[in-house]
Amino acid sequence: MSTTLQSDFSALVQGVNMIWVLTVTFLIFFMHAGFAMLEAGQVRSKNVANQLTKNLLTWSVGVVIYFLVGAAISTITGGLTGGGSYSVAGAFTSLYMPEAGAAGAWVSWLFGAVFAMTAATIVSGAVAGRAKLRAYVGYTILLAAVIYPVVVGFTWAGGFLSGLGFHDFAGGVIVHAMGGIAGLTAAWIIGPRMDRFNDDGSANVIPGHSLTFAVLGTLILAFGWYGFNVGTSASPLALNDSGGVVLGSFATVGRVALVTTLGMAAGAIGAAAVALYKTGKVDTLYVANGVLAGLVGITSIADAIVWPGALAVGLLAGAQLPIVFEFVEKRLNIDDVCAVFPVHGSAGVLGALAYPFVATGFWNGSASFVGLLIPQVVGVVVIALWTFAATALVFGAFRAAGQARVSREHELEGLDTSEHGVDTYPEFGSPDESGARVDGGQIRPDGGVADASHAPASGVETDSVSETEDNL
């Protein structure tokens, strides 16, 4: 009788926990709607459908490749670099044909897949407005099959960074910094949009077409982020030694929920404060992206930091956003359209490196500062170098083959028409003979672009906001 009850309890615990994992997985999947709106709002009206298509194909193509190849590669990489046992054939067959009663393998795979697709979709925002669809989809295939799985293999799958003690709770570096570094690399190799920079290196403003969409996307992403962080932190039920049902790993869930919330709020405040200091105005898109930067900064460390540390990390992650964006734009002359590097890349790196300063282990004396810092530095360097090298190789090959970016004519026409044969806003007019966009019966002002014939359409006012807000 006791054995029967324990068996029943075991099934109950497994079922409830699987439902929990699926629920937070669906929440993370909904973040793709946020990415779609955020990126669509920050591109020209003539490139909206292209950006939406990239987001749809990122999921559709990427998730299939991650199922067929990527998940197994992460397992193999973890075994190879971590000294653990592994089977190449078993890494694939355990997912394709799990043993009877092991359907949890598919649930676990889906949970990992939504993280992988988040890393992939970040790249699309950096190369918006000029990348060929085939190049982006080709990169997504390789990212889902090899580039991201290798990073997971080094870390969550038991690889050498895991053994070293590298701490990344929910993907602040593994997912977000990796995506931000990949996006910056891709944008550098493809080159800037036409008229983005002048011959002297000064930058021109190319406004996004909808501030409303961008902010809506930000809030959807912030909502889904609770699945990212809080969803990772707990299993609702567990069995104790006597076979009874008890609450599961909820010891840290309150901490994770709190610091995630404080981090996002502080990120917005930090970005707003620096924007106000630099321009005398509170830049709306800096505030929105500051929310995301604060979330990225807290994501890798949310399970093991003191709550004042969440405010500090969030403020720093938001504050660095305008500074890093200006450096990328005006010093490096890289056209990162949706600011994916300052939002995801540098904010993720900052959060990981800040861990020793705010870790509960450091403050309660159970861990040394140096012992916490060294694995974080090594992990960030290894992941950054791998991501840069792999991304540069892929996009460099596309560029060498003449397939990285669209032609000048197609860029002027807009990728919606040239790549997809659609017009997202047909009722607002179409390109006139000069190549400028007609919006609501009027040719919009050039917003600072050097050649008026290349002026973007924009529903965002530009006379009272900074250069960065318009480009973001």
In the chain the first and final C-alpha atoms are separated, in Å, by 64
The answer to whether residue 27 is domain-embedded is yes
Find the range with the poorest average confidence among 66-75, 82-91, 302-311: 82-91
pLDDT of residue 445: 32
Interval 288-302 mean pLDDT: 98
Give me the chain's average pLDDT, please: 88
The answer to whether residue 194 is domain-embedded is yes
| Residue span of the structural domain in which 99 resides | 18-231+369-409
Residue 19 has pLDDT above 50, yes or no: yes
Find the range with the poorest average confidence among 168-172, 316-320, 457-461: 457-461
| Structural domains counted in the chain | 1
pLDDT of residue 124: 96
Please state, in angstroms and rounded to a whole number, the distance separating the CA atoms of residues 339 and 263.
19
The answer to whether residue 28 is domain-embedded is yes
Q: For 199-258, what is each residue's pLDDT tens digit? A: 998 999 899 999 999 999 999 999 999 999 998 887 787 788 777 788 777 778 899 999
pLDDT of residue 258: 96
The answer to whether residue 89 is domain-embedded is yes
Please state, in angstroms and rounded to a whole number, the distance separating the CA atoms of residues 36 and 102.
34
pLDDT of residue 301: 97
The answer to whether residue 148 is domain-embedded is yes
- Express as a percent the part of the chain with pLDDT over 90: 75
CA-only gyration radius of the chain, Å: 23
Residue 355 has pLDDT above 90, yes or no: yes
**Three-state DSSP state, 61:** helix
Interval 107-115 mean pLDDT: 94
- The CATH code of the domain that includes 374 is 1.10.3430.10
5-6-11-13 Cα dihedral, nearest 10 degrees:
120
Find the range with the poorest average confidence among 237-251, 260-274, 356-370, 423-437: 423-437
pLDDT of residue 437: 42
Residue with tokens 């949970």: 111
Identify the residue with better confidence: 4 or 384.
384
Interval 402-420 mean pLDDT: 95
Please state, in angstroms and rounded to a whole number, the distance separating the CA atoms of residues 286 and 288.
5
199 burial type by CB count under 10 A (0-12 exposed, 13-18 middle, 19+ buried): exposed
Residue 105 has pLDDT above 70, yes or no: yes
- Give ∠ CA 199-201-206 in degrees, rounded to 5: 95
Identify the residue with better confidence: 99 or 184.
184
CA distances from 5 to 225, 340, 421 (A): 37, 52, 62
pLDDT of residue 6: 54
pLDDT of residue 136: 97
pTM of the model: 0.89
Q: How many CB atoms lie within 10 A of CB 408?
A: 11
Interval 133-143 mean pLDDT: 97
**pLDDT bracket for residue 99 (50, 70, 90):** confident
Q: For 427-472, what is each residue's pLDDT tens digit? A: 776 554 344 443 333 323 333 333 433 333 333 333 333 333 443 3
CB 187, CB 399: distance < 8 Å: no
- Kindly write down the DSSP assignment for every residue of 375-414, as one continuous string: HHHHHHHHHHHHHHHHHHHHHHHHHHTT-SB--HHHHHH-
Residue 7 has pLDDT above 80, yes or no: no
CB 258, CB 314: distance < 8 Å: no
pLDDT of residue 443: 29
Residue 144 has pLDDT above 60, yes or no: yes
The answer to whether residue 333 is domain-embedded is no
